[in-house]
Structure 1
Amino acid sequence: MRPHYLTSLFSPRTVAVVGASDTPGSIGQAVFANLLAGNFQGKLFPVNLNHKVVGGIPAVPSVRLIEPAVDMAVVCTAIRTLPAIIKDCGKKGIKAVLLAKEFSDSEQLEREILNESVSIARHYGIRVLGPNVLGLMRPVAGFNATNYTSKVRPGNMALVSQSSALCTAMLDWADSKGIGFSSVISVGEALDVDFGEILDYLVADNFTQGILLHVHHIHHARRFMSALRAAARTKPVVVIKSGRYQDDVTGVTHSSNLIESGDVFDAALSRAGVLRVSSIAQLFTAAKVLAANFRVGGKRLAIVTNGIGPGVLAADSAYTNGVELAKLSDATMDLLNNALPRNWSHGNPIDLIGDASPVRFRTAVKACIDDPNVDGVLVIFTPQAGTDHLTTAQLMIGLQRESSKPMFLSWLGDAKVSESRDLFSKAKCAHFRAPEYGIEVFRNLASYHYNQQLLLQTPGPLEGKREAPDLLRARAVIAGAMAEGRTILSERESKEVLAAFRIPVNPTLLARTEDEAVVLAEQIHYPVVLKIDSADIIYKSDVGGVELNISNEATLRAAFRGILERARQAMPEARIDGISVQPMRKRRFAREVMVGVTHDSSFGPVITFGAGGIAVEVMHDRALSLPPLNQYLVGSMIRKTRIGQLLGAFKNLPAVDMDELVDVLLHVSEMVCELPELREMDINPLVADEKGVIALDARIIVEPLKPDVKRYGHMAIMPYPTHMVRSATLNDGMKVTIRPVRPEDAEMQQEFVRTLSDESRYNRYMSSIKQLSQTMLVRFTQLDYDREMALAMTCETEKGEEQQAVARFITDPDNEGCEFALEVADKWQGKGIGYILMNALFDAAREQGLTVMRGEVLAGNKGMLKLMHKLGFTVETHPEDRALTIVTKIL
C-alpha cells in the first residue's frame, strides 16, 4: 500500500509554523517553543511577517520563501489571514495544515472566512485539521505542535478528542497515573479532517496499540463507522461521549419518541465492537486493561472472599452494574463442600471464613476458574487474625499466569497490604483498592466481548433463501403517496408495503360509506374492527378513530358515523379517505409487541423492538439496533427487553412462534436496506402467539430521496451486497457462482488455502504457511464492503460448496484507487476463471467509484501477465526484485 495520505499531517519531516513568535502568552510562541523543546528530529521553519529571527532560527515572511519542500504548516495567526495563507501553502505544495487558533462560532464573518479557507484548501489538495485550541502531538516522535505546557509521556495509546479542554484534563490525569501516548489529536471543529480519516491512520500506525476517543458529534457516520469497525478488529478502542442530553432523534411515531440520540450512539458503538465508558477514569482504566489483553467470555462473575460483608456489598455492586453472579456447577459445589469449612457460604459470593489460609484461597479460586459457568473471578482479601496477605497474593499471581480467565484482586486496607499491592503491580495483575472498581472493569470487559461478537455480524439485507420481496409493489405505493405531496402513508398503504416484504398483516379494506362497510363486514365475517382511514391522523385512538369488536350491522353503522364525527371534530383539516374494515383478531395467548424504524441525524435508520399496544410509552421497554440485522442481532434485541422474557412458555401461556417473530424483524431490516425513502415506521401492535405473528396496525413515513445517493448510502453500516451475486459459465461449460465473501466462509477459505500448492501459497502470502492463522482468516472473511471487496468463485460438489478462486481489493485510504489480489486453486487453472473473476472485480470497483487498480505479479508468471495484458493492465518493471507492478485505469 502507498503511504497514508495523512502522513504529512501526522508524521511530518518538515514543518512551517506560520505566526511563530517570541511574544510571551501568544499561541505562536507556545506552539513553536513546544516544537523546539520536543526533540523533533525534522526541520522547523518559523514564518513571521515582522521578525527575521524567531527562537534563534531565521524566519521568512511567507511559506513560499522556504527553500526545501514542506510537509505541513501549523497556522497560529488570526482567522482573517487564513485565505491568503492557505493559498500560499497550496502554491508551495504543502499538503497538510493544522489550524491551531481558536475561532468564534458566533461570528458570521469568521465562519465565512473559515469556509472560504477550506474551499481554497480543497482546490489545492490540502488537508486541514482543526480549527482547535490545543493542536496535535506525537510524543513517540518528539513532535508537539500544541500550546500544552505540561509533560506528555510517550506510550502506545492514541488519544483523539473533540474538545481541547477535555483533552488537556485527560492529559493531566494520565500524567499523574504514568500513562503515555503515541498520538494526541485535538479534532476541534473538524471542518475537513474528521474522526473516520484519523482512525484510518491510527489503524495502520505501528506505534498505536489502543485508541481512546472522545466524541461530541459525528459529521460522516458511514466513514466513522467503517473506520471504527476496522480499528476495533485489530486494536482495543474505548469511547467517551459528551452531549447525551442533545437529542437528534425527531419524528412523529412511537419509535422516534421512545429513543434518544445517546441510545443510537450506544447501539452504533456496540455494532462497531468498541467499548463505551462514562468517565475519564473509566476511559483510561478500560484502555489499560484491554491493552494488557485481559478478556472475558461472558458476564458471569464469581466472588471469593474471607469476609461475607465485603462479599455481599460486591454482589450488590454487581447487580447494580448488570453483572451476573455465576451459578456454580454441581462439580464445583462438591469440591468446595469437601475443601472448605462446614460454615462456608455454600453459594456465590463464596465466603471462605475470616481465617482463610493462602491454600484455602487458592483452592476456591482455582475451582471457580475451572468452572465452565464462570467467566471471571473477583478475589477480595480482608486482613484478619491468622491470614497471610503476601503469600495469598503470590498464589493468586501464580494462578493468573496459569489461567486464561481474568482475575480481579482487591486487597482491602492500606499499610498492612501495601506489599501485596506492589507485588500485583510488578506482576501486571488487575488489582483494585475497592471491589466496586474491579466489578466495573469486569462489566466493561463483558460489554467489550459482547460488542466484539456484534462486530462479527455482517448480514445482508435478508439472510438465507427466503422469498424475495415485491420491491416494485412497495415502491409504487410510496411513489403514489409522494406524487400526491404526502409523506405519511395511511394504515392501508403501510400494510401494503409490509405485505410486499412478506410481513403478515391483518387484511384492511376501505369503505367510503356505511353501506360499503356493511358489505365488507359480511364478506370478512363479524366481529370486525373499524378505523379511520387518513394519512393525516397518526394516532387514531387520540381522535376516537377506532371501534373494536363490532358484532352486527346496527352497531357497525353507529360506529361508522361516530368515528367520522369524532375525527372531523378533533381534526377538521384532516383529509379522510373513509373507514377501514378489518377482521377482529382474538388470540387467547397473544402478546403484543412493537417493531419500529426511526431516523437519527448522524447514523440514519434505526430499528426498535419492544412492548406494544397501549403500554408502549408507559413501559418504555425497547431495544434498538442499527441495520442490517441477522438472527444473532435480532435475538440479542429481543433478549434485552422485558417483553422478551414473556415470549417463552409462561404459566398457562405457550411460547410464541419465535421463528416467525424473528422473520418479521429480518424483513423490516430488509425494508430499511432496500427502501431508502423509509424514514419512520411503527408496527403496533404486532401480535405474536404460538400460531405465528400478524401486524394489526402500521404506519410508515417516507421522504424523497436525496440526489446522487449511492446504493445503501443512507445506512451507517454497509450490508452484504447481494446484488453482486451472479452466475457464470467456465470455458468447459461448468456453471459457477460468483459472490462476495461472507464471515461464514471461513472454513471454506481455509480449505481453499490448504489445497494450494506450496509455490502458490508462497507467491501469494510470501510465506511457507500451510494454512491461515485465525487472525488472517478473520481479516479475509469479515469484510467492510464499503472499503474492500472479496469475490469468491464457487461450485457445487458432492461435499457441498467448494471455492475455486477468490479476487479481492482493498481501497487506498483516499478511496480513489485500490490494490487487488487474485488466487486460483491449482486444480482449476486454465478454465478462464481469472478473466471472469477479475471482470467481476472491475464491476465492483467501478460501483465503488474507484479509478485505479494496482497489483503485483512475479516476473516469471507468464500466465498471469498474459491475463493482465488481456484485461488492459500496464506493467511497471522493478529491476531490483522479481515483482512487477501492474496498473489499470478503471473507466
Structure 2
Amino acid sequence: MIAANTSSQQHKIMGKHYLNPLFAPKSVAVFGASDRIDAVGQIVFQNMLESSFKGALFPINAKSTEIQGQRAYASLADIEEPVELVVIATPPHTVPGIIEDCGVHGVKAAVIITAGFAEAGTAGVKLEKELVETARRYGIRLVGPNCLGIMRPSIGLNATFNKGGVKAGNIAFVSQSGALCTAILDWAHSNDVGFSSVVSMGSSTDVDFGEILDYLVSDPQTQSILMYIEGIRNARSFMSALRAAARIKPVILVKVGRHAAGSKAAMSHTASLVGADDVFDAAVNRAGVIRVQTITQLFTAAKALSCGFRPVGNRLAIVTNGGGPGVMATDRAVDLGLTMATLSDATIDYLNQHLPPNWPHANPVDVIGDAQADRYHHAVKACLEDENVDGVLAILTPQAMTKPLASAQALIELTNTHSKPLLTCWMGESQVADAREAFNLAHRPHFRTPEPAVEVFAHLSAYYRNQKLLMQMPGPSSHHIEPDVESANLIIEGAMQERRKVLTEMESKALLAAFHIPVAKTMVAHSPNEALLIAQQLGFPVAMKINSHDISHKSDAGGVMLNLSNAHEVRAAYQQIIDNVSRKLPQAKLDGISIEPMVVKPNGRELMIGVTSDPVFGPVITFGAGGTTVEIMGDRAVALPPLNGFLVKELVRETRIAKMLKAFRNMPPANMEALEDVLLRVSEMVCELPLIKEMDINPLILDEHGALAADARVVVEFRQPSADRYAHMAIYPYPTHLVNEWQLADGTELTIRPIRPEDAELVQRFVRDLSDESKYFRFMNSVQELTETMLVRFTQIDYSREMALVAMTEEHGQEVELGVARYATNPDGLSCEFALVVADNLTGKGLGQKLMTSLMEAARNMGLRTIEGEVLNNNHNMLKLMTRLGFTIQVSQEDHTIMKVSKAL
C-alpha cells in the first residue's frame, strides 16, 4: 500500500486553508481602537461591535482601560488567550514593532489599514520593507497596508473603516481600491446585494490576488467572485490563480486604465499596434473570466450567472409586445457582435398556432400589444426549446390589455424548467412594480430598459466562450516535425555577441526556417554587378531591400524596390536604394542589399503575424491584415501563447480580414490549414525562444496553395536564465517534456505524463477502485467518491504552481490510470507539498518510487528547493519508500498519528 496525503491539497479541498486566520478568525485584536469620534480605529472597533463578531474581540490602546464600553488592553501580552487576527490602525512608524509583537505571541494574520508606507516616499518604502521582513520571519500573513480592510459578514467580521456593514450573501468581492470599495458597498446596500467576503487589497505587500482567489475557490460560502483591478504585479501568479478559480466558480472583473498609451519606443509594427488593454482582455478571456465595464454590469452579470443558467452561445431571440423596444434590443445586440437567432421551421409552425396571424414570423417575435400571459408563455417556451436559440430576452411594455404580473409569473415558471438564459425587461414604472417584485423574489435578473439586458446576455455568451478557451491546454509544440531550436538559439546568440538587438532580414528568415515556416529565398548583394548575378540566379522579377542592422522600417527609408523585371532595372535600383537611405538615414550602417524573387500570387492575401512583449503578461501573438498600411488598417487580434488549433481559429475569427480569407469575388478560399500551421509555429517559437522580444512577419502572403513569409523582422533582448524554461510566459504550456515511457518488471508498458483535463473520468475510476485503506491513507478521510469540484481541482491544473504526474497503461484499447504523484507549491514559492498513491495491486513493483523521483525532478526544474508531505504513522510501505528516497521523517507536533516527511531538492 503506497499512499500519502499532502497537507496543502488537504487544506484546499477538505480542511482548513492556511488563510483561515484571516477569513475565519476565532479572536481579533484591534490596535488603535479608540473612543475618538471618526478616528479610523474608533470606526473599525465600532464596526466589529455592531456586526456582532462571533469570536473574542480585544481593543488595544495603551492610553485607555476601556474602549466603547469594552475592557481595553495595553498590548498583546495582557491578553490571556491566543489572538488569531490583528487589525492595525496606528501611525506607520509603530506598525513594524506591532508585527514583531504579533510574531512573539503567535498571531498568524494581520490587516494593516494604516497608510504612509511605499506610497509616501523613501522613508515609507524603508518602513514597508522592515514590516514585510518581520512578518515573513514569523510566518504572519498581511493584507494591506493602506487598505479599507476585510469583511466576512457570516461571522460578523467587519474589520474595515467603512461606515456601516453589509448583508451576508454568496458573492465575494476583491478590490485594489478602498475608495471604490466603499462606493460599491453603499451601492450593494441599496440594491439588496449580499457578500460572503469583501477584501480591500491596499498595497498588497504580502497576500496578493492569487492567494485570496485560492481561498475563495475552496470557500463553500462563495458562489461567484467579483474583482476590481487597477494593475497586476505578478502575471504568472495572477493567471494561475484566476484560471484555477474560473474552472470552479464564475469570476467577473472590472479593470480600469483601458486606454493607457502603448510604448512609444516600440521597434516593430506589432508593438505599436497593441495596447496594454488588448493584452489584458486576451489574458482574462483565456482564463475563462468575464470582463465588464461598469459596476452595475459587474453585479447584474453575477446575478445572471447565479441563476443556474447554462449559457451555450451567442444566438439571441427577442420576444416583445412592442416593435420599438424589439428594434432597440436588436440594435444593441448587433453592436455587441451577438447573432440574432434564426428560428427553426418547427418553432415558426408552433408560433403560428399560438400567436395572432399578423405576428412578423421572424425574430424579434412580436406577440402584439394585447398579449397576455398565455401568449408570452408560448412564445418564450418555443424560443427556449429551439436548437437555433442560445438565450431569450422577453420585453413587456404596459398597454391596455397586458397583465404584467401574470406574464412575469408565467416566465418565472419557465426558468424553473429550462437552463438557457431567460432575461426579462418590464418597461415602465407603477404598472410593472408588482411584476418586478415577483422577479426579485424569484431571484431572476430583470431590467428596466432593453440595452442592459442585451449586455448581460453578451456577458453570459462571453463566459461560455471564455470557458472553452480556459479548457485549452496546448503544449509548446503542436507538430510532429521538431524545430531546430539549437540553430535558432545560435542565430540569436550571434547577434547578442555583436551587441545587436535587431536581427537582419536574413537572420530573421533563418529563424523562421528553423521552425519550418515557409520563407521567400533571400540573398545579399554588395555591388550592382553582384545584385545582377543574384537576380538572374533567382529569376525575374525580383524585390530588393536595404540590408542594415540600424533600419527598422525599410520602406520609410526608401530602402525597398519591387517588381524589378530586367538587368537594367536591378543595377539602377541598387544605386537608387543606397542613395535614398544615405540621404534619409546618413548614420545608418549599410550591409549590402537583399534580393529575393518577387512573390507573385494573384490570389494572395497580405497578412501580418507578430509577436510583442507586454510588460505584465510577457509574449503576445498578434494576427491581422498586413502590408504597408498595417497601422492605418488597425485590424488585429491578440492572444497569449501557447496556442493550439482551437485557439488559432478563434484568433483568426476575431479579425476583419478573416472574411476575405474565404472565397472572395473571383478568388478561391485561402489555405486556412497553412495559415493555422504558421501561427502554431510562431507560438512554438515564442515558447522555446525566450529572448524574442518582438517579431513581424509582414507580409505573410496566403493563397489557395499555402503561405509564404515575404519579409520578417525579429528583435531580441537579454533575459536572465531561469530554472523554469517557460518563466517568460504568463500561461505555462502543457509540459510535454515531462512525458516519458517506462516499464514495470513484469514487462507492462507505462506512460508517465502530466495530467490533463480530459483525465477526469480515469481519475474518478482510479480513486473508486482503491481500497478503503488506500483512500484513507491518501485523503486522511473516508472519501469514497471524488466530488465534481475535487475532480476539477485534481485534473485541471496549470502546471506552474502545481504538477500531477499520472502513470497510464492501455487495457483493451483504453487508457487506465495506475498511480499519480502530485505537488502543490507552498505560499513561500520555494517549497512544495506532495501526494502519492499507487493502485493496490502494484505495491512493491517500483512504480511509487519512479513517480516520486519523476515528481521531484519536475519540482527541482521549477526552482523549488524542498518537498514535504504528511504520512500516517501506520502507513508502513509509504514510510519505507520515504526512507529509501532519503526523506527526513519526524512526528508532527500537532498530531502524533502523522509523520512529517521532507527532503531538500
Query: Under TM normalisation by the shorter chain, which class is it?
Result: over 0.9
Q: Is 2:580 the partner of 1:537?
A: no
Report the counterpart of residue 3 of structure 2 in structure 1.
Answer: none
Q: Is 2:23 the partner of 1:4?
A: no
Distance 1:570 1:618 in 2: 23
Q: Tell me: higher relative CO, structure 1 or 2? Use CA pairs within 8 A at least 6 residues apart.
A: 2
Distance 1:763 1:349 in 2: 59
Distance 1:202 1:129 in 2: 15
Report the counterpart of residue 103 of structure 1 in structure 2.
Answer: 116
Report the counterpart of residue 313 of structure 1 in structure 2.
Answer: 328
Q: 1:762: Cα distance to partner?
A: 7.8
Q: Which residue of the other structure, out of 11, 14, 18, is the alignment partner of 2:27?
A: 14
Residue by residue, what CA displacement relative to the aligned partner does 1:212-248 show, whole Å, maximum 9, x if unpaired?
1100011111111111111111121110111223346
Matches within 5 A, 1:497-536: 497-536=511-550
Q: 1:688: Cα distance to partner?
A: 0.8
Contact 2:171/2:196, CA 8 A, preserved across alignment: yes
Distance 2:294 2:193 in 1: 16
Residue by residue, what CA displacement relative to the aligned partner does 1:245-269 show, whole Å, maximum 9, x if unpaired?
3346562211111121111111111
In the superposition, relative to structure 1, how do residues 120 and 887 fare at CA in structure 2: closer, same or farther (>3 Å)?
closer
Contact 2:248/2:792, CA 8 A, preserved across alignment: no
Q: Which residue of the other structure, out of 675, 688, 692, is the alignment partner of 2:689?
A: 675
Q: 1:656: Cα distance to partner?
A: 1.4
Contact 1:215/1:240, CA 8 A, preserved across alignment: yes
Q: Which residue of the other structure, out of 168, 184, 200, is the alignment partner of 2:214?
A: 200
Partner SS state of residue 803, structure 2 = strand
Q: Which residue of the other structure, out of 285, 304, 307, is the alignment partner of 2:319?
A: 304
Report the counterpart of residue 72 of structure 1 in structure 2.
Answer: 85
Distance 1:329 1:772 in 2: 41
Contact 2:330/2:340, CA 8 A, preserved across alignment: yes
Contact 2:26/2:84, CA 8 A, preserved across alignment: yes
Distance 1:370 1:58 in 2: 64
Contact 2:702/2:708, CA 8 A, preserved across alignment: yes
Partner SS state of residue 563, structure 1 = helix
Unaligned runs of 5+ in 1: none
Q: Is 2:102 the partner of 1:54?
A: no
- Specify the code of the residue in structure 1 equivalent to 2:19: L
Q: Which residue of the other structure, out of 259, 263, 285, is the alignment partner of 2:278?
A: 263
Partner SS state of residue 402, structure 1 = coil
In the superposition, relative to structure 1, how do residues 747 and 19 fare at CA in structure 2: closer, same or farther (>3 Å)?
closer
Matches within 5 A, 1:225-374: 225-247=239-261, 249=263, 251-374=266-389
Matches within 5 A, 1:72-221: 72-103=85-116, 105=119, 107-221=121-235
Q: 1:475: Cα distance to partner?
A: 0.7
Distance 1:33 1:837 in 2: 55
- Specify the code of the residue in structure 1 equivalent to 2:819: A
Report the counterpart of residue 641 of structure 2 in structure 1.
Answer: 627
Residue by residue, what CA displacement relative to the aligned partner does 1:257-283 show, whole Å, maximum 9, x if unpaired?
112111111111111111111111111
Residue by residue, what CA displacement relative to the aligned partner does 1:131-168 show, whole Å, maximum 9, x if unpaired?
22522222222122221112322222221111111110
Distance 1:324 1:858 in 2: 61
Q: 1:840: Cα distance to partner?
A: 1.1
- Specify the code of the residue in structure 2 equivalent to 1:324: T
Residue by residue, what CA displacement relative to the aligned partner does 1:413-465 show, whole Å, maximum 9, x if unpaired?
322232222222222222222222221111111111111111111211122x4
Distance 2:134 2:878 in 1: 44
Distance 2:579 2:375 in 1: 79
Distance 2:900 2:132 in 1: 35
Q: 1:519: Cα distance to partner?
A: 2.1
Q: Is 2:55 the partner of 1:42?
A: yes
Distance 2:868 2:106 in 1: 26
Matches within 5 A, 1:596-615: 596-615=610-629
Distance 2:261 2:649 in 1: 27
- Specify the code of the residue in structure 2 equivalent to 1:215: I
Distance 2:134 2:890 in 1: 35
- Specify the code of the residue in structure 2 equivalent to 1:87: E
Range 119-128 or range 782-791, more displaced: 119-128
Residue by residue, what CA displacement relative to the aligned partner does 1:602-634 show, whole Å, maximum 9, x if unpaired?
111111111111231112111111111111111
Distance 1:391 1:675 in 2: 64
Q: Is 2:403 the partner of 1:388?
A: yes
- Specify the code of the residue in structure 1 equivalent to 2:458: R
- Specify the code of the residue in structure 1 equivalent to 2:108: K
- Specify the code of the residue in structure 1 equivalent to 2:89: C
Q: Which residue of the other structure, out of 440, 454, 457, is the alignment partner of 1:425?
A: 440
Distance 1:54 1:425 in 2: 42
Partner SS state of residue 448, structure 2 = coil
Partner SS state of residue 149, structure 1 = coil
In the superposition, relative to structure 1, how do residues 84 and 416 fare at CA in structure 2: closer, same or farther (>3 Å)?
closer
Q: 1:719: Cα distance to partner?
A: 0.9
Distance 2:28 2:893 in 1: 35
Contact 2:539/2:597, CA 8 A, preserved across alignment: yes
Contact 1:789/1:809, CA 8 A, preserved across alignment: yes
Q: Is 2:37 the partner of 1:24?
A: yes
Range 78-87 or range 497-506, more displaced: 78-87
Partner SS state of residue 428, structure 2 = coil
Q: 1:665: Cα distance to partner?
A: 1.0
Report the counterpart of residue 415 of structure 2 in structure 1.
Answer: 400
* Identical-residue share of aligned pairs (%): 52
- TM-score by length of structure 2 reads 0.92
Partner SS state of residue 416, structure 2 = helix
Residue by residue, what CA displacement relative to the aligned partner does 1:637-662 show, whole Å, maximum 9, x if unpaired?
11111111111222321111111111
Distance 2:848 2:201 in 1: 44
Contact 1:249/1:601, CA 8 A, preserved across alignment: no
Distance 2:831 2:121 in 1: 39
- Specify the code of the residue in structure 2 equivalent to 1:470: D
Q: Which residue of the other structure, out of 484, 503, 515, is the alignment partner of 2:498?
A: 484
Q: 1:880: Cα distance to partner?
A: 13
- Specify the code of the residue in structure 2 equivalent to 1:15: V
In the superposition, relative to structure 1, how do residues 761 and 65 fare at CA in structure 2: closer, same or farther (>3 Å)?
closer
- Specify the code of the residue in structure 1 equivalent to 2:426: W
Partner SS state of residue 409, structure 2 = helix
Q: 1:124: Cα distance to partner?
A: 3.7
- Specify the code of the residue in structure 2 equivalent to 1:269: V
In the superposition, relative to structure 1, how do residues 539 and 34 fare at CA in structure 2: closer, same or farther (>3 Å)?
same
Report the counterpart of residue 757 of structure 2 in structure 1.
Answer: 743
In the superposition, relative to structure 1, how do residues 339 and 774 fare at CA in structure 2: closer, same or farther (>3 Å)?
same
Report the counterpart of residue 693 of structure 1 in structure 2.
Answer: 707
| Alignment coverage as a number of residue pairs | 888
Partner SS state of residue 628, structure 2 = helix
Cα RMSD, aligned residues only? 2.7
In the superposition, relative to structure 1, how do residues 21 and 764 fare at CA in structure 2: closer, same or farther (>3 Å)?
closer
Contact 1:853/1:888, CA 8 A, preserved across alignment: yes
- Specify the code of the residue in structure 2 equivalent to 1:139: P
Q: 1:294: Cα distance to partner?
A: 2.4
Range 755-764 or range 635-644, more displaced: 755-764
Report the counterpart of residue 566 of structure 1 in structure 2.
Answer: 580
Q: 1:697: Cα distance to partner?
A: 0.9
In the superposition, relative to structure 1, how do residues 510 and 879 fare at CA in structure 2: closer, same or farther (>3 Å)?
closer
Contact 1:132/1:186, CA 8 A, preserved across alignment: no
Range 173-182 or range 874-883, more displaced: 874-883
Contact 2:152/2:197, CA 8 A, preserved across alignment: yes
Report the counterpart of residue 581 of structure 1 in structure 2.
Answer: 595
Residue by residue, what CA displacement relative to the aligned partner does 1:80-112 show, whole Å, maximum 9, x if unpaired?
333433334344443333221222735433333
In the superposition, relative to structure 1, how do residues 803 and 111 fare at CA in structure 2: closer, same or farther (>3 Å)?
closer
- Specify the code of the residue in structure 2 equivalent to 1:417: V
In the superposition, relative to structure 1, how do residues 100 and 751 fare at CA in structure 2: closer, same or farther (>3 Å)?
closer
Q: Is 2:458 the partner of 1:443?
A: yes
- TM-score by length of structure 1 reads 0.94
- Specify the code of the residue in structure 2 equivalent to 1:26: A
Distance 1:811 1:263 in 2: 30
Distance 1:340 1:85 in 2: 73
